[in-house]
Structure 1
Amino acid sequence: MDPFLTLLHSVSSSLSDSELSSLKFLCRGKIGKRKLESVGSGGELFLILLEQQLIASDKLYFLEGLLKSIKREDLLSQLKQFVEEGEVNASDDQPDVHEKRLQEAAIEVICENVGRDWKMLIRKLGISEVKMDRIVAANPFNLREQLAQSLREWQKWKGKDAKVTDLIKALRSCHMNLVADRVEQEILPLNTGTR
């Protein structure tokens, strides 16, 4: 897999809706209005930038400028790491495809069932207050998105060590047993017979 595309995918999945809107605005001089209106994700925006040769694995100046403009220091450091190592995340640090699917399904169930107490769960998973505050600031009126972004942050941080069972343990330790039961009943059965 192309390390640069992996980097762009990682950056794209970290962007909030408001950050994507800011990026689209910043690209106005480079990309036509009609094309920009059809962009619904960071990935789509990056594809256009790749096609127009504004970004490439050896041409990161424009992307760096965009990330500086939206004040995403975390993504800038990921970009710097890519430049230094020639790769963003070694693929052996990522969970296998099956585990990743289970995590995504578990995150969906958690987002549907955990309400205002979501921060307690995210603290149990070890995500810092600073990261949570940044996620809340990026999605000020969308509780579900705050939780989803926080869980994705946990996924990225843990890499291949991120397990659905860890989510269930954290839910139980926060006395969110009904949600933990739902994850166990709906997600864990998908795990049997596939290994």
Structure 2
Amino acid sequence: MDPFLALLNSISSALSGADLAAMKFLCRNDVPKRKLESVQSGRDLFVIFLEQRLIASDDVAFLEELLKNIKREDLVLQLKQFEEEGEVSAPDDQPDAHDKRLQKAAIEVICENVGRDWKMLMRKLELSEVKLDRIVAANPCNLREQLHQSLKEWQKWKGRNAKATDLIKALRDCKMNLVADNVEQRLLELNTETR
């Protein structure tokens, strides 16, 4: 059984009708009205959050904020306890040291060379619009930081499946071939250094 789903089920069981109504109201800008109308329980709401990537086992900030807003500190505490026990980002879901080095180098090159079209790249990497909007709001007027935070968010979401080759493919799909060539060159240099 997935410990994160068990946690969401537990939180859902603890929500009153008033709590659920308040949560639905608070996430009106993040979830389409049509979907909210069908929500009958916390579980229904959490399924939508998972589908829209508003929450994930390694990203509970959105849910935590909602629970704080409805004054359910007991459930916030339960969420924090789950995070602290290391369940949120299990180490076996993380890339190995070599992959991390390659990703870091690829991200550096991308941040240096991709400008205003960074959102197109992130959409190719399938990062949700909600996350992109949240990153822009947190880093207004700083394109480079928006791109950097988006790439970190993508890494966190993908875990061990985050590969530098995925970044290169997305760059090529966006017709950013020069940047893709630069990333490939940097990775080639890193691989020859480690031999």
TM-score, length-normalised on structure 1?
0.58
- Per-residue deviation, 1:74: 5.8
Give 1:73's aligned residue.
Answer: 62
Paired residues for 1:18-33 under 5 Å:
none
Q: Indicate which of 59, 81, 90 corresponds to 1:83.
A: 81
- Per-residue deviation, 1:191: 2.8
Q: Identify if the C-alpha distance between structure 1 residues 75 and 115 changes in structure 2 by more than 3 Å, giving closer, same or farther.
A: farther
Partners in 1 of 2:78 and 2:190 — Cα distance?
38
What is the root-mean-square deviation of aligned Cα atoms in Å? 2.4
- Per-residue deviation, 1:93: 0.1
Is 1:144 aligned with 2:177? no
Q: Identify if the C-alpha distance between structure 1 residues 134 and 172 changes in structure 2 by more than 3 Å, giving closer, same or farther.
A: same
* Gap runs ≥5 in structure 2: 1-60, 68-75
Q: Identify if the C-alpha distance between structure 1 residues 142 and 97 changes in structure 2 by more than 3 Å, giving closer, same or farther.
A: same
Partners in 2 of 1:169 and 1:114 — Cα distance?
14
C-alpha distance after superposition, 1:44-93 (max 9, x if no partner): xxxxxxxxxxxxxxxxxxxxxxxxxxxx5367699855523721311100
Partners in 2 of 1:74 and 1:107 — Cα distance?
28
Partners in 2 of 1:79 and 1:191 — Cα distance?
44
Contact 2:64 2:79 in 1 (8 A): no
- Per-residue deviation, 1:190: 1.5
Partners in 1 of 2:94 and 2:77 — Cα distance?
18
Give 1:101's aligned residue.
Answer: 101
Q: One-letter code of the match for 1:160?
A: R
82-91 or 182-191, which deviates more: 82-91
Q: One-letter code of the match for 1:73?
A: F
Give 1:92's aligned residue.
Answer: 92
Give 2:154's aligned residue.
Answer: 154
Partners in 1 of 2:63 and 2:102 — Cα distance?
26
Between the two proteins, the alignment pairs up a number of residues equal to 124
Q: Could you list the runs of 4 or more consecutive aligned residues of structure 1 that deviate by over 3 angstroms after TM superposition?
A: 74-82, 192-195
Determine what percentage of the aligned residue pairs are the same residue: 71
Partners in 1 of 2:160 and 2:181 — Cα distance?
24
Q: Identify if the C-alpha distance between structure 1 residues 171 and 93 changes in structure 2 by more than 3 Å, giving closer, same or farther.
A: same
